[in-house]
């Protein structure tokens, strides 16, 4: 293990780092938070070496540090949320997660093909990455579950001889101020594929305008009354689309009231699915908010097929996230599609129709 | 009395061993990769990881407490509220253990765990929350999935006296973060980016504050935030348009998806929002104390780890003769220790599951 002071020998430190990284070695480097561990994330052997240093990692991914947004663009797809965060908060103590382009070694991306990117607000490191002209890994230099390292001593006193031998170069900047590790931000949930007109062709479409929350609830009650009148012999899916605050949960409150649910119908967002046992008309009411699902497959993981086996009513908020799967269920279930929009602070436009 | 407690209502697999009200061991296996931590469940992963972690988690809890199943008197498990497919994993494990070792089963309401957690002691008998609470007391449970005020008259005697009528407080943090394009998880981010913001820059309404009851509407705040942000954005991008533009047919309608804000705007808005939420929670808590004339208060649930809220609570009660138990952050979030202590008192009330094999999960369980 070679130690170079970045204050005394900045030029040598950069030169030696690049040599080490190119040879698949591990460097320990300072940042505006704690000491980090750097290898070339596109070099599989180097990444494997890094993982063996960190010991127990389960399937935890490894973030990478880049010089600027342009360099990040090569490795991840940046959506509007990510672009704005880069503009406002980077460089800085944030790790921003986006969809990976698959250009890094195995073990760097997460198992859902996302990748965390960091631009450290630490001038020396930015110079080093710029000079290297490629990203380096950005994981803290401690062994998993051990103390966050702010000095070389923190690292040495918590690692075995064997682990220390894996480190090729230490860029020493003495003791760093104790600033917490970077905050991780996931931007990939904002990749909602909004359905456009024509994506879903509905029969018998209707449009109503509700002026208050109460009217939105009453609409929900009437909708269910009409569905009950149809005496359908299959489960019903009510697929809801509409941005935040358009009254999706209010609508579901009306639906639940008509079905005789006595308790307060609360938002299912956190838990994704709330279910209510019914005593009239249907067996169960399932109320889902699938905004946080990473993919449509996770709807099936929730037991969606089983829900369709009984005489159940299933309300799905953010249905556009799994529209393909929902559409495929049109034989097993009767599907009503609803789009909700803001008209004014209190008024809402509700468009709805059957999907078949 | 030794109790093995299991909790799998959300996305942490938890097991604990208690000797009466003392925690001998408490193991939490967090299953979500750090890419998806905080703020809710990922269903498929939740079920699969619970299945994977439940056996080692129980084993570890027993080993850490230095006991075997033979030493255990009762098995306790959370049966709701929570995600059905997650609850099932814990219940199945508890049923299997009861059958194999012939132990009585105690079914615990996850929320009762939060209520009783101020009574948790470490293995030396020291109270984790440091503040003694006595009956009757008011407990406020604030998390990503719940916002409730409960009057705790005695062990086993609970009355729901106020709750959110729509979104939970923690959920409002996530949703406002979504409006600010902050990414996920929103709660901790709002606190972080708003740390140095101006908490009085934006005046947000406090829905139901003067409703006279103890209910909340955090969905109302979320919608108010959307209106307010649209106003800020409209003024920013179009100097001519001082008027709020809301209809989609309007050529200058701003979909929340298209609105972006600067670091300064975000900091002030996040700080103002956080203050508004804390103000509402504190105000309703004070109302509850007055109405029910209690001398003790406790809080629980993930949002009770929010620093601004903890500070606001301490300030609000500084000049009052009321003791506030703010639990150790470890016992604010999900854990099996609190399930174990609820079970300890249930065992004294002889509340056992008559037919363990028939215990079913109740995802929307609440108090009366």
Residues B2-37: tens digit of each pLDDT: 999 999 998 789 999 999 999 999 998 865 444 344
For residues A62 and A123, state if they share a domain.
yes
Check if the beta carbon of residue A250 is closer than 8 Å to that of residue A220: yes
Q: How far is CA A77 from the centre of its chain?
A: 13
Distance between CA atoms of residues A128 and A134, nearest Å: 10
A241 and chain B in contact, CB less than 8 A: no
Q: Is A267 on the interface with B (CB under 8 A)?
A: yes
Per-residue pLDDT for B164 more than 70? yes
In a domain? residue A197: no
Asked if A196 is an interface residue toward chain B (Cβ–Cβ < 8 A), one would say no
Identify the residue among A95, A195, A216, A271 best suited for mutation to test binding to B, counting B beta carbons within 10 A and taking the highest: A271
CATH number of B137-326: 3.30.420.40
What is the pLDDT at residue A273?
Answer: 87
User: Tens-digit pLDDT profile for chain A (356 aa)?
Assistant: 899 999 999 999 999 999 999 999 999 999 999 999 999 999 999 999 999 998 766 567 899 999 999 999 999 999 999 999 999 999 999 999 999 999 999 999 987 788 999 999 999 999 999 999 999 999 999 887 678 899 999 999 988 898 899 999 999 999 999 988 888 888 988 776 555 555 667 777 899 999 999 999 999 999 999 999 998 889 999 999 988 888 998 999 999 999 999 988 998 988 888 889 999 889 999 999 998 887 778 888 888 999 999 899 999 999 988 888 999 998 999 999 999 988 777 788 899 998 87
Tell whether A326 is covered by a domain.
Answer: yes
Tell me, yes or no, whether A37 and A63 share the same domain. yes
Rounded to the nearest angstrom, the gap between the alpha carbon of residue B66 and the centroid of all alpha carbons in its chain is 30
Residue count (chain A): 356
**Which pLDDT belongs to residue A99?**
93
Chain A residues whose CB is inside 8 A of the B37 CB are 184
Contact A82 B183 (CB under 8 A): yes
Q: Which of A135, A168, A190 is the last residue of a domain?
A: A190
A195 located within any domain: no
Q: Tell whether A295 is covered by a domain.
A: yes
Q: pTM to 2 decimals?
A: 0.85
| CA distances for A193 relative to A241, B12, B16, angstroms | 11, 30, 43
Whether A196 is in a domain gets the answer no
Whether residue A8 is found in the same domain as residue A97: yes
CB B267 within 8 A of CB B197: yes
CA A162 to chain centre: 36
**Is residue A179 located within the same domain as residue A215?**
no
When the candidates are 3.30.420.40, 3.30.2130.10, 3.40.50.300, 3.40.50.2300, the CATH number that belongs to B2-129+331-358 is 3.30.420.40
B227/A345 Cβ within 8 A = yes
**CB within 8 A of A250, min separation 6: which ones?**
A213, A216, A217, A220, B166
CA distance A220 to A256: 8
Parent domain of A304: 202-355
- The shortest C-alpha distance from B80 to chain A (Å) reads 11
**Which residues does chain B have within 8 Å of residue A301's beta carbon, measured at their own beta carbons?**
43-45, 47, 85
- Hey, are the CB atoms on A189 and B184 less than 8 Å from each other? yes
Question: Are A206 and A179 contained in the same domain?
Answer: no
Query: Do A219 and A169 belong together in one domain?
Result: no
Q: Which of A190, A212, A237 is the last residue of a domain?
A: A190
Provide the mean pLDDT of chain B: 88
Domain with CATH 3.30.420.40 in chain B: 2-129+331-358, 137-326
Gap from B288 CA to chain A (nearest CA, Å)? 20
Closest CB to B192: pick one of A82, A183, A249: A183
Give contacts of B248 with chain A, Cβ < 8 Å. 341-343, 349
Decide which of A169, A190, A211 is a domain's last residue. Answer: A190
Three-state DSSP state, A275:
strand
- pLDDT attached to residue B37: 45
Q: What's the number of domains chain A is made of?
A: 2
pLDDT band at B83 (very low <50, low <70, confident <90, very high): confident
A219 min Cα distance to partner chain B (Å) = 18
- What pairing do the DSSP bridges indicate for beta strands A284-289 and A273-277? antiparallel
Contacts of B185 in chain A (CB under 8 A): 186
Q: Does A303 reach chain B within 8 Å, measured CB to CB?
A: yes
Residue A273 to residue B83, Cβ atoms within 8 A: yes
Q: Do A345 and B82 touch (CB under 8 A)?
A: no
Predicted confidence (pLDDT) per residue in B192-245, tens digit: 899 999 999 999 989 888 889 999 999 889 988 988 898 888 777 765 554 544
Test mutation, A269, A306, A349, chain B, max B CBs within 10 A: A269
Q: Report how many helices (DSSP H) and strands (DSSP E) chain B contains, helices first.
A: 10, 10
Residue A90, both tokens: 């980077």
Closest chain A residue to B42, measured at CA: A293
Give me the torsion for CA of A170, A171, A176, A182, rounded to 10°.
Answer: -90
The pLDDT assigned to A192 comes to: 62
Q: Do A303 and B263 touch (CB under 8 A)?
A: no
| Chain B nearest C-alpha distance from A96 (Å) | 9
Q: Where are the alpha helices (DSSP H) in chain A?
A: 10-22, 44-54, 69-73, 80-89, 123-132, 152-156, 161-166, 213-229, 248-258, 297-301, 304-307, 323-328
Q: What is the pLDDT of residue B333?
A: 77
Same domain, residue pair A182 and A280: no
**Interchain proximity A272–B40, CB inside 8 Å:** yes
């Amino acid at each position: 293990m070679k130690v170079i002071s970045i204050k005394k020998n900045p030029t040598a430190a950069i030169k030696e780092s690049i040599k080490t990284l190119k040879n698949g070695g591990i460097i320990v480097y300072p940042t505006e938070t704690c000491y980090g561990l750097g290898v070339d994330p596109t070099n599989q052997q180097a990444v494997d070496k890094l993982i063996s240093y960190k010991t127990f990692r389960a399937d935890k991914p490894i973030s990478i540090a880049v010089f600027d947004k342009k360099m990040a663009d090569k490795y991840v797809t940046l959506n509007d949320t990510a672009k704005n965060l880069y503009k406002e908060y980077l460089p800085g103590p944030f790790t921003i997660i986006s969809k990976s382009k698959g250009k890094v070694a195995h073990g760097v991306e997460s198992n859902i093909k996302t990748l965390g990117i960091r631009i450290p607000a630490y001038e020396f490191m930015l110079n080093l990455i710029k000079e290297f002209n490629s990203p380096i890994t950005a994981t803290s230099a401690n062994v998993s579950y051990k103390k966050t390292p702010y000095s070389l001593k923190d690292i040495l006193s918590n690692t075995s001889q064997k682990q220390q031998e894996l480190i090729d170069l230490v860029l020493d900047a003495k003791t760093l101020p104790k600033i917490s590790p970077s905050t991780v931000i996931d931007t990939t949930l904002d990749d909602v594929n909004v359905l456009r007109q024509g994506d879903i062709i509905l029969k018998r479409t209707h449009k109503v305008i509700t002026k208050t929350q109460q009217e939105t609830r009453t609409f929900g009650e009437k909708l269910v009354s009409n569905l009950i009148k149809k005496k359908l012999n299959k489960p019903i899916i009510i697929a809801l689309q509409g941005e935040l605050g358009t009254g999706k949960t209010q609508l579901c409150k009306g639906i639940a009231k008509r079905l005789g649910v006595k308790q307060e119908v609360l938002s299912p967002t956190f838990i994704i699915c709330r279910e209510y046992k019914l005593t009239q008309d249907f067996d169960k009411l399932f109320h889902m908010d699938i905004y946080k699902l990473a993919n449509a497959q996770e709807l099936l993981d929730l037991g969606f097929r089983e829900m369709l086996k009984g005489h159940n009513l299933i309300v799905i908020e953010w249905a556009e996230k799994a529209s393909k799967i929902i559409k495929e269920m049109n034989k097993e279930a009767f599907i009503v599609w609803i789009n909700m929009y803001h008209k004014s602070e209190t008024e809402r436009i509700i468009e709805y129709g059957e999907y078949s | 009395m030794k109790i093995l407690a299991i909790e799998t209502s959300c996305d942490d697999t938890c097991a604990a061993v208690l000797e009466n009200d003392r925690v001998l061991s408490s193991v939490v296996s967090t299953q979500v990769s750090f890419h998806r931590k905080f703020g809710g469940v990922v269903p498929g992963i939740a079920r699969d990881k619970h299945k994977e972690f439940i056996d080692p988690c129980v084993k570890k809890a027993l080993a850490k407490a230095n006991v075997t199943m033979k030493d255990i008197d009762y098995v306790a498990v959370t049966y709701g509220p929570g995600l059905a497919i997650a609850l099932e994993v814990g219940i199945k494990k508890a049923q299997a253990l009861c059958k194999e070792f012939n132990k009585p089963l105690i079914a615990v309401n996850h929320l009762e765990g939060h209520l009783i957690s101020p009574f948790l002691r470490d293995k030396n008998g020291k109270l984790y929350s440091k503040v003694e609470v006595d009956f009757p007391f008011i407990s406020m449970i604030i998390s990503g999935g719940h916002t409730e005020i409960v009057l705790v008259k005695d062990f086993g005697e609970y009355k729901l006296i106020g709750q959110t009528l729509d979104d939970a407080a923690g959920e409002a943090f996530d949703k406002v973060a979504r409006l600010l394009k902050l990414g996920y998880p929103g709660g901790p981010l709002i606190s972080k980016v708003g740390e140095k913001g101006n908490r009085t820059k934006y005046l947000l309404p406090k829905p139901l504050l003067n409703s006279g009851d103890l209910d909340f509407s955090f969905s109302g705040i979320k919608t108010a935030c959307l209106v307010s942000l649209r106003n800020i954005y409209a003024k920013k991008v179009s100097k001519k348009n001082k008027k709020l533009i809301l209809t989609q047919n309007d050529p200058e309608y701003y979909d929340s998806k298209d609105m972006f804000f600067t670091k300064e705007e975000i900091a002030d808005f996040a700080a103002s929002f956080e203050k508004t939420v804390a103000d509402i929670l504190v105000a309703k808590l004070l109302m509850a104390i007055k109405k029910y004339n209690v001398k003790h208060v406790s809080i629980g649930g993930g949002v009770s780890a929010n620093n601004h809220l903890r500070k606001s609570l301490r300030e609000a009660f500084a000049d009052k003769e009321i003791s506030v138990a703010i639990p150790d952050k470890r016992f604010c979030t999900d854990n099996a220790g609190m399930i174990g202590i609820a079970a300890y008192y249930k065992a004294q009330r002889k509340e056992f599951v008559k037919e363990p094999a028939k215990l079913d999960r109740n995802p929307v369980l609440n108090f009366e």
